[in-house]
Amino acid sequence: MIALIAPLVQEAAPVVSAPFFSLDPSGTPDVLGAWLISLFTLSVFSFLYRDNPFYKLAEHFFVGLSTAYFTLQYYEEGVLQPIYEWIHAAHATPEGALVNLGGLPIEPSTAIALRVGAGVFGLMLLFRMIRPNSWAPRWPLAIMVGVYAALKMTGETQSKFVILLGEQFNKALYDPAALSWSEATRIEQTGLYFTFARLVFITGLICALGHFMFTLKRTKGLQAVSRIGVITLMITFGSMFGFTVLGRIALLIERVNDLDRYTAPAYSLAAVDASGSGGSLLLTPPLLLGALIVALLALGAIQRRRPATPPPAAAGPG
Amino acid sequence: MKREIPIALTVLCGLAIVWSFFTPSPYADAVNSELNTWALVFFSVAFLLGIGNLVRISLKQIAAGHADAVFKVVLLVVLFGYLGVGLLEIHQQRLGLFGSSEGRVVGLGGHGERALRDWIYRKSFVPLQATMFSLLAFYIASAAFRAFRARSLESTLLLAAGTIVMLGQVPLGDQLTGGLASRALAFLMVHVNGAGQTAIIIGATLGVLATGLRIVLGIERSYLSD
Amino acid sequence: MSLPPLPGQVAASHAGAAGRVWEWMDGWAGLAAWIDTDKLPTLVAIVVFGALMFVYQRRAKRGQEITIRRIAGLDAMDEAIGRATEMGRPVLYVPGIDEIKEIQTIYSMMILRHVARKTAEYGTDLIVPVRDSIVMTFAEEAVKGGCLDAGRPDAFVKDNIRYLSNEQFAYCAGVAGIMARERPAANIMLGMFFAESLILAETGFLSGAIQVAGTAKQHQLPFFVAACDYTIMGEEYFAVTAYLTREPNLLATIRAGDVIKIAAIVLLVLGIGLATVSAGEPGIQWVDVMRRSLGVSAGGGGDA
Amino acid sequence: MATLGDLDRRWIFLAMGLLVVGMYAAGVKADLPSSPYVDSFYRTVEELPPRSIVLLSADFDPASAAELLPMYTGVIHHLLARKLRIVNTATWPAAPPYIRQEFARIAPLYGAVYGEDWVELGFKPGDDVAMGIIAQSLQNAFPTESRDGRSYADVPLLREVGAGMQGIDLLVTMSAGYPGILEWIAQVGGRYDVPIVCGTTAVQTPDIFAFYPRQVRGFLGAATGATQYLQLVDEVTTDAGVTAIKEENQRRMQVQSWGHVLIIGLIVLGNVIYFRGKRAPR
């Protein structure tokens, strides 16, 4: 096992010293942080063996922290700034000066009135906590639904329908000279390849659109169009499948890389002496915690297989 | 009364946004920007309401002596602990904490306004979320062996295209196929996947347009019945 | 694809008819103060689509038949329920894992009612595991309604609508448990799914059940196609709901969508033909006028 | 199907785990051939005249930082090396710490002065709504910059950016999902004449091809795109940091190769067993 792990340690310059605790974001990662990261990462990976207290701890810590994290963001940027600080700033504008609202200069008093209105409607939303189906929270919700629906409808129809169609007629797409990019292979530069590629694109697009038509009579022609459309869609889903595999494995590799960083001597429990040696590998966060989790899970497994003897007071996990 | 006013508000605000989208005037921009900010405030308040739900369910489970009660306690301690740290850091200027004063923000250890919050975030939120997603690499491997079958033309094409894409993305793929994989990948992605995605996006956008129109014209009422 | 130049100037020569139309459009741009002419095509698209929806909805309400073609996924679903009946084993219906406000979950409830009617007729058990307590109440209503439609209200078993957990992976473990213990012969998974779709499809495949899955969002479809016997893809999901419910609003939207797609295809064929003919030609060609009429040449950073 | 069902999937988990750790320990590096869409991302930045202003939006979080952070670091090096000025925003709440962390390390290398060469405006909640406000009037979206709290008008760089993206020469977004590149296209591409390039996670990359090469001038797809782009940026920057990240990514791509070969092998093996089992007499 050691032989396999040993090469992991041959970093370009092994980190020999790291602060125990430091808030500096761009400094060398601190030791306390290394222990926390290793504990959380290995606890989540332990779910692959089976659901166990380590995973439950990590999961509940995550739900609590992420809820609090997003709450703070939305409190600061969605409530504090647009209402409290905006009214504060509008209040402090000198006499006669105007406030800029989306490019339109307006009276500070109007600006304040508008945001007080927003605050009142926001409070009406809080009524849901007291009386869920009272009329008050419906007003702000209705405004929000109307604004989001209209925003999506206009923006997306423009860029994902009208312009997306219009861009298909750009002459540059049909000019073979538009083919040259620095490393195009010889075949890719030929006119034949270009025409074939454009034909594949156009037939695929038209047939895939044709497949998603449901109220036309199913003539022979439409069935053929639908067939080619399904083939195009299946290759599209195949490429999405390939990219999903790429993405998930990239994440796994990054986790391994992160743990590898904390196998450096500086993070080991055994102190690194002046000459830079010591800091044995086995006492570094990933390996020590990994061994601990495996041992406890193994203990639990053994206990489950021996039902006869009463489980000891400290029942194994799981 | 309980339904007419909300629907009127939806239609009014929806049409105001549509009007501001098509009209090139400063008034349109002002209306657009103010309505956007109102929607943003309500979105944030609605999010804050969501927390109440989580806390209520957790407390109920702790009181009922649920098997995971101790973990629910951990959840609440972390939730309110981090909220406390965050609120102190947000309002440190007014409260004169960590050396900050009226005009100046110093933050804990002089590392700026969000020092402690960001530290906790980097050392717990980051590894947890990243590792949770990386579990899927294992689940895909298991499903690949036990469930992905070339049972029909469709699934065969899908697995074949997936294989080309997987090979074309990595150096080994080109070494194994003599450089063919990455060229096949480029062709497949730009010309076949490009066509398929364009058709899917056009279809989806027509769906968004249909629901958007029904909401803005007040025909769609389902969102009110919650 | 070489990189077309950044928003450069229009070619000097405005020769030919197309050029004159181009200049007329320039003049027109400044005129209408109340509307941004680049966005005129978007306004036309929205108004035309709205008008089509309105017309077809009125026709559908007056009973005029809008036929939706038979979706292959529906045949697969009926076949799966039939096989479960033959083997005397239950049907499992997973309505996605999103909340009721997601449109796909609402439509999944409508399809659930159709499935419940079939299972009530055949006298087969129907198990519906849910991840959200509000969706559970809607699911109970749907299954109760389905049993009533089949004229067998007694077929409704309240315990078969089960709230497992609202945590994603715990819900999957719960569904896997049902698959292992009660061994359903048919798994129908319709609604909004996320990363767990992979685990549900794999567990279902191994339990030997016929699997029919469907979702409108494309990101989970690759795993469903690879692991399930039949998949209802993207917009087919909405077409299935319209086919089953005959609901005028939905029928009208699909009919309007078809008409717009036909128009888009005609536009595509015309535009691409013009673009191919005039590829590489300097100056303004008819295809550039066409692109500009779609509000592209100005907004999309285009060039002549 | 009995044989397949009996195999405990945890053996497959172990195989994937050991393969990734083992190949990572081997530490082999290999160069990647380029792709047309990565090449056009690089050339779109190269063709911007010096002192142009770029709106760089960090729209990702820790789960997607594995794929997007290397691109984000690479693009900051590239922009600063090309003497371009950067306005930083974020529409994901978990992104601002990354802006601070990267610029704290990279800006001094190119002598970039805060407030003149780059500015940090921080997170804006509201998804599409936020993007609509940012594009429509940056000042209205961010009355104050988020590092020292100075008001918009006091920052020399921001004075050159008016309403309606006026003054912005390129929009770069590192996009992990919603809100991201597709919403930037809807809110900005549909209204203002600003070229857009982006970096995306693997899951979202296939969608972007529908908008390439016109609405999205170029893009970096997943870890592969990141590595290809870093190979290009490494040639124009002298900083050892870029070379280190490039080599780290090349090392990861080698491990990625084995991961993909394993998945392909499992699919083929699974199908062989399945079809042989089907044809064997019952």
SS3 C71: coil
Q: Which subunits have 3 or more CB–CB pairs within 8 Å of chain C?
A: A, B, D
Q: What is the model's pLDDT at position A180?
A: 62
Report chain C's mean pLDDT, rounded to a whole number: 84
Distance CA B121, CA D95 (A): 11
Domain ranges for chain C: 1-32, 72-247
pLDDT band at C255 (very low <50, low <70, confident <90, very high): very high
> Which tens digit of pLDDT belongs to each residue from D152-187?
999 999 999 988 899 999 999 999 988 999 889 888
Protein fold of C72-247: Rossmann fold (3.40.50)
- Residue C66: closest C-alpha in chain A: A215
Do D56 and D184 have their domain in common? yes
Beta carbons within 10 angstroms of residue C135's beta carbon:
26
pLDDT band at B223 (very low <50, low <70, confident <90, very high): low
> Which tens digit of pLDDT belongs to each residue from C205-236?
888 899 999 998 888 899 999 999 999 998 99
Q: What is the model's pLDDT at position A278?
A: 67
Q: Which subunits have 3 or more CB–CB pairs within 8 Å of chain A?
A: B, C, D
Domain around B174: 148-226
Mean pLDDT of A12-22: 77
The number of folded domains in chain B is: 1
Q: What is the model's pLDDT at position A61?
A: 94
pLDDT at D256 over 90: yes
Domain around D114: 36-238
> Which tens digit of pLDDT belongs to each residue from A40-79?
999 999 999 988 899 999 999 998 998 998 888 888 888 9
pLDDT at D197 over 60: yes
Assess contact for D227 and D253: CB atoms under 8 A: yes
Q: Is residue D53 part of a domain?
A: yes
Buried-state track D43-78, b at ≥16 Cβ within 10 A, e below 16:
bbbeebeeebbbbbbbbbbbbbbbbbbbbbbbbbbb
Mean pLDDT of D121-141: 83
Question: Could you give the percent of chain C with pLDDT greater than 90?
Answer: 39
Side-chain-side CA neighbours of B76 within 13 Å: the count stands at: 16
CB pairs under 8 A between C and D: 36
Which DSSP letter does residue D114 get? B
CATH number at residue D111: 3.40.50
Do D228 and D263 have their domain in common? no
- CB spacing of D206 vs A236 below 8 angstroms: yes
- CB spacing of D20 vs A256 below 8 angstroms: yes
Q: Report the interhelical angle of B26-63 vs B4-22 (nearest 10°).
A: 140
Distance CA A20, CA A18 (A): 6
Distance CA C111, CA C77 (A): 11
Distance CA B158, CA B196 (A): 13
Interface of A with C in 69-88 (CB under 8 A): none
- Find how far residue A236's CA is from the centre of its chain: 23
Mutate to test the interface with D, among B169, B183, B202 (most CBs of D within 10 A): B169
Q: Is the ipTM of this complex over 0.85?
A: yes
Q: Which subunits have 3 or more CB–CB pairs within 8 Å of chain B?
A: A, C, D
SS3 B160: helix
Q: Is residue D247 part of a domain?
A: no
Distance CA C259, CA C52 (A): 8
Q: Is residue D244 part of a domain?
A: no
Q: In this complex, is the C-beta atom of B209 within 8 Å of any C-beta atom belonging to chain D?
A: no
> Which tens digit of pLDDT belongs to each residue from A245-267?
999 999 899 999 999 989 888 88
> Which tens digit of pLDDT belongs to each residue from B159-187?
999 999 999 999 888 888 888 888 899 89
Q: What is the model's pLDDT at position C1?
A: 33
Beta pairing, strands A99-101 & A104-106: antiparallel
Q: What is the model's pLDDT at position D130?
A: 81
pLDDT band at B38 (very low <50, low <70, confident <90, very high): very high
Q: Is residue D17 part of a domain?
A: yes
pTM score: 0.87
The number of folded domains in chain D is: 2
Do D124 and D87 have their domain in common? yes
Mean pLDDT of D133-141: 85
- Residue A24: closest C-alpha in chain D: D101
Mean pLDDT of B111-137: 87
Residue-wise DSSP of D127-178: THHHHHHHHHBHHHH-SB-TTT--BGGG-HHHHT--BTTTT--EEEEEE-SS
Q: Is the pLDDT higher at C281 or at A259? A: A259
Mutate to test the interface with A, among C25, C232, C261 (most CBs of A within 10 A): C261
pLDDT band at C3 (very low <50, low <70, confident <90, very high): very low
Beta carbons within 10 angstroms of residue C140's beta carbon:
16
pLDDT at A128 over 90: no
pLDDT at C5 over 70: no
Mean pLDDT of B195-204: 93
**In degrees rounded to 5, what are phi and psi of residue A19?**
-65, 150
Q: In this complex, is the C-beta atom of B37 within 8 Å of any C-beta atom belonging to chain C?
A: no
Q: Is residue D243 part of a domain?
A: no
pLDDT band at D27 (very low <50, low <70, confident <90, very high): confident
Q: In this complex, is the C-beta atom of C47 within 8 Å of any C-beta atom belonging to chain A?
A: no
Q: Spell out the residues 6+ positions from residue D251 whose beta carbon is closer than 8 angstroms to its own.
A: D24, D27, D28, D29
Q: Is residue B188 part of a domain?
A: yes
Q: Is residue B203 part of a domain?
A: yes
Distance CA D135, CA D57 (A): 12
> Which tens digit of pLDDT belongs to each residue from A86-124?
888 888 888 888 887 766 888 888 889 999 999 999 999
Q: What is the model's pLDDT at position C12?
A: 41
Do D8 and D56 have their domain in common? no
Q: What is the model's pLDDT at position C4?
A: 39
Chain C residues near residue B210 by CB distance under 8 angstroms:
49, 53, 253, 256-257
Tally of helices (H runs) and strands (E runs) in chain C: 12, 6
Q: In this complex, is the C-beta atom of C229 within 8 Å of any C-beta atom belonging to chain B?
A: yes
Q: What is the model's pLDDT at position A309?
A: 53
Mean pLDDT of A291-316: 74
- Residue A147: closest C-alpha in chain B: B14
- CB spacing of B36 vs A151 below 8 angstroms: yes
- CB spacing of D193 vs C208 below 8 angstroms: no
Beta carbons within 10 angstroms of residue A128's beta carbon:
20
